[in-house]
Structure 1
Amino acid sequence: MQYGDVHLGRALRIADVLEFLRRAGLDPDAVQLTDPAQVDWRDGGPERWGT
């Protein structure tokens, strides 16, 4: 997962995404994971995770 130019780590499940958002100083409740203007999903998405 990346925030701006900073690599935060690899998210393997939605809980990882929420934790990375917290670490970046963002409020996970304020981020709409299904909004493409806020999140650029690659190789998956909020409903689909790679193996």
Structure 2
Amino acid sequence: MASERPVVVYPPDEDGGRRVRVDGQISGRAYSVRDIAAFLQEAGLQEYDEMDVVRSSLIEWCGGGADVWMR
């Protein structure tokens, strides 16, 4: 089932990185909430900061929320 949210953060990998998909395209690997905020800013949401990422309903967190960075 495809996500209805435009941002998907995948479960952490063995290095603690999480793949991030924005509008159907992989943006890269994030190692913190700050990295996700940077991806969203690059996608046009310049005002997004770390707190926006944590609270946003635009993001689907797979394999744990914003506080999970290790397997």
TM-score, length of structure 1 as denominator length: 0.70
What RMSD in Å do the two structures reach over aligned CA positions?
1.8
Structure 1 unaligned residues grouped into runs of 5+: none
Regions of 4+ moved over 2 Å: 31-35
- Percent identity over the alignment? 29
Question: Secondary structure of the residue that 2:28 maps to in structure 1?
Answer: coil
The structure with the larger Rg is 2
**Cα deviation code 1:6-50 (max 9, x no counterpart):** 110011111101100100111315x45344x41111233212212
Correspondence for 1:10 among 29, 35, 39: 29
Residues matched between the structures, number: 49
